[in-house]
Amino acid sequence: MVRVPRVESLNFDQEDGIVVYKKSPLSNEVICEFIEPTKESITKGIENLRQSVDNVEDLGIVKRAKILMHLADNLENSKEEFAQIVNKEIGKPIKLGLAEAEAAASFIRSLAGAAMFHAGEVIPSANRRKLVTYERRPYGLAVLIVSFNTPLPNYAWKLAPAWLAGNGIVLKPSEHTPLSARLFVDKCIESGMPRESLGLLFGGAEVGKHLVRQEFELLSFTGSLSVGLSIQEASTRVMRKTILELGGSNPIIVFSDANLDHAVENVVQSAFSNSGQRCASGSRLYVEQNIYADFLLKLKNRISQLKVGIELGDEIGTLVDQNALIVYKDFLNQCENSCKVWISDSSISHPNAHIAPPAIVEMKATDPLFGEELFVPILRVASFDTAEQVLEYANSSKYGLTAAVWTKRLTLIELFRRGLNAGVLNFNGPTHGAEFQFPFGGARNSGNGTKEVGIGSLDEYSFKQIVTIDFSN
């Protein structure tokens, strides 16, 4: 029997834990194993890490920024290794993995540089001899819980501002991405982060439940609404800063005056890149009635050209596991009797891979299934007659993460700018793909008003302390 590699946690005791085997969605073969620590070892690990948080603040922001600069270089130099690992872990195409590694490095580098110019401010006082400063201070220990779908950017978006603000770190990746998480943490230590103030905790839902009930000062979570609600409930029992970036069922609205060829390209990328496994995926499409048939034909033709599979040049990879494949099949089965279902005829020659061909489901915009989050490569489509009608349709979902509207008319742009409930609203663009300098976060059930990425993320991972010094006394 071939022994698979064991991926070790950092600063959490693994004795008496449960061994978990990680399978690749490319082949359904075990690629590594890790240990889920016990509740007792999680508690002990958190206590030890909390005692070392002062070491991070004592480094000072200049030193912390330099370490992040080194980390950005190390990530960029290792982007091929990261892309190969993420491909093996979750089936993400190599090209997409390389782009995400570069995006992570760019964000870290930019944030580290910008922080040197945004350390705080001086506030004027009526007393001319009083100095008043308003500056960032760390919370203490920051627990970062990350989803599987874009692991490296998510590690960067959370760890860089948390570390730069002076917090100690606990990274809990998805159970689907242990290899990339361990490599990322190794690069952090290699770049100069103290081992004693950096924790890495592997495990699934039970580990997450134990973790959020520990004593620490900041919690950042990216994932589903159901888990986010349970995390918010656990956080109400303690005074803790909580950052939540949750799911989405994001609308794309196409009017007849839009550049239709460009709209088709952006709909395809929004709906099917990363196999639909994006919180910002465009999974609801509304097309103006007078162009509906023609636009749908263009869309199907373009989707049919996508390369689906696990080969190097393929554009659409696998779903993360068998459960995701079940969600995909179950939804299509629910729709087949009452809706028009179209599935791309992409030839798939890998029977053990968790591949789901892109699919389109034509359904009524008022159908309750239209607004749910799927996280699979299924695009739901409906027509509309008026702008006011489609605005109501777009706002009918309980989510409010991103949205895209395609039109050249300024009156429509103003209508949707003021009326569409979304944390990120793009006109004549995709629902995803925000640049790293743009704040990202959702409205309604897609988040709690906090924003990640961008220079403003530093304000989420630190609190502002006001200090007054009265020289007149």
CA neighbor of 375 nearest in space, from 150, 164, 169 = 150
Starting at the edge strand found earlier in the chain, the sheet holding 18-23 runs 6-7, 30-36, 18-23
Please enumerate in sequence order all residues whose Cβ is within 8 A of that of 103, keeping only pairs 6 or more positions apart, or say none: 153, 156, 436
CA atoms within 13 A on the CB side of 406: 27
Q: What is the DSSP letter of 127?
A: S
> Active-site residue among 32, 188, 279, 339?
279
Q: Which two tokens stand for residue 421?
A: 């409930």
Please enumerate in sequence order all residues whose Cβ is within 8 A of that of 377, keeping only pairs 6 or more positions apart, or say none: 271, 272, 275, 276, 316, 328, 356, 357, 358, 359
Catalytic site includes residue 279:
yes
Which residue type sits at 102?
A: E
CA neighbor of 104 nearest in space, from 128, 74, 124, 81 = 74
Residue 419's H or E segment, with its range, is: helix 410-419
Are residues 413 and 291 in contact, defined by beta-carbon separation less than 8 angstroms? Answer: no
> Active-site residue among 36, 245, 373, 452?
245
66-170-226-92 Cα dihedral, nearest 10 degrees:
60
Catalytic residues: 245, 279
